[in-house]
Amino acid sequence: MISSEVVYQEVYKAVQAMNVSLPVDVAGRLKAAQQQAEGPAQAVLGQINENLLIAAREGIPFCQDTGMVWVHVSLGEEVQIRGLKETISRAVADAYREGYFRSSVVEDPLRERKNTGTNLPAVFHFDIVPGRTLEIYILAKGFGSENCSRVFMLKPTQGREAVIDSVCAVMKEARGVPCPPVVLGVGIGGTFDYAALLSKRALTRALDHPHPCPYYAQLESDLLEAVNALGIGPGGLGGGCTALAVKVESFSTHIAGLPVAVTVNCWADRRAKVLLSEI
Ligand code: SF4
């Protein structure tokens, strides 16, 4: 049995920390990008990096948009746990309230758009897997970048080059809007909706961990090169990197299709992971 209290504490800590400090791999890439940038791009990256230092030192969020929380739970079928979704939601709400993070979620999106005041609901996805572990992957998704995300239903014969063109098309349209340098999650395969989910799951992987399959690892590298060749640059001002990383996840699909989804994330690449096991 995994205690709900332990889940609550771990998710609470993770959600508070993710809004105040970036993962070390993301922070490292932003510092390296600043060293390699020129002109206004270097100034933009300098401000981002200074802002990150201040946020960590003062314990305050590094962006005013503290995002909508996205949660992917991978639950071992031998794990006994009660009230998992409610526990995670409570931890998210408490972390946002006690961290003074902005509540950005509105209910009834087409009519009243009333702020729920808790940053709930979070968006949940559950996978049931063999074993005795509970893995909780969390993103806090800013919507300046989320609004730039897209799904393409390519023809199966269009292949690899069309995937690269689609990803580049997203950034050509987005330009500086998603607060570059971005991190892109690319989902290939499945159905229309599942490709989008894959693109989010791609964002849960550390930037320094390439795809385990050499073919897709090479595609990640080629996508990064193609996006950076667009020259959009930090803040959309050119003169430096456009993307810090491109991460790919793939899945089987139908003979008649090649779905490709691109989730655009900004430099505020907030991700956290909670791993727990049955004792
Ligand atoms: S897109 Fe990202 S960096 Fe830009 S305002 Fe939104 S959360 Fe902040």
Average pLDDT, the chain: 97
What is the per-residue burial (b if ≥16 Cβ within 10 Å, else e) of 28-64? ebbeebbeebeebbbbbbeebbeebeebeeeeebbbe
Going by C-beta distance under 8 Å and a sequence separation of 6 or more, which residues neighbour residue 97?
118
- Decide: 236 in ligand 1 pocket, CB within 6 A: no
Instruction: Check residue 214 and give left, alpha or beta (phi > 0: left; psi -120 to 50: alpha).
Output: alpha
User: Which DSSP string do the residues of 12-26 spell out, in sequence order?
Assistant: HHHHHHHTTS--HHH
Name the residue of 179, 270, 271 whose CB sits within 8 Å of the most ligand 1 atoms, as the mutation to test its pocket: 179
- Decide: 176 in ligand 1 pocket, CB within 6 A: no
Residue 148 in this model has a pLDDT that exceeds 90: yes
Q: How far is the CA of 220 from the centre of ligand 1 (A)?
A: 23
Asked whether the CA dihedral 98, 99, 102, 106 is positive or negative, the reply is negative
Distance CA 156, CA 178 (A): 29
For residue 181, what are its two tokens?
């340098």
Going by C-beta distance under 8 Å and a sequence separation of 6 or more, which residues neighbour residue 224?
243, 245, 246
Atom of ligand 1 nearest to the CA of 142: 7
In the chain, where are the structural domains located?
4-142+271-277, 143-265
Pairing of strands 106-107, 182-190: unpaired
Q: How far is the CA of 156 from the centre of ligand 1 (A)?
A: 34
Mean pLDDT of 217-238: 97
- Decide: 30 in ligand 1 pocket, CB within 6 A: no
Distance CA 32, CA 73 (A): 32
Nearest CA to 157 out of 260, 261, 256 is that of 256
pLDDT digits (tens, 9 = 90+) for 46-101: 999 999 999 999 999 999 999 999 999 999 999 999 999 999 999 999 999 999 99
- Decide: 187 in ligand 1 pocket, CB within 6 A: no
Distance CA 273, CA 275 (A): 6
Mean pLDDT of 212-237: 98
Cα 61 to chain centroid distance, Å, stands at: 17
88, 113, 126, 184 from 179: Cα distances, Å = 29, 25, 30, 12
pLDDT at 239: 86
* Confidence tier at 3 by pLDDT (50, 70, 90): very high
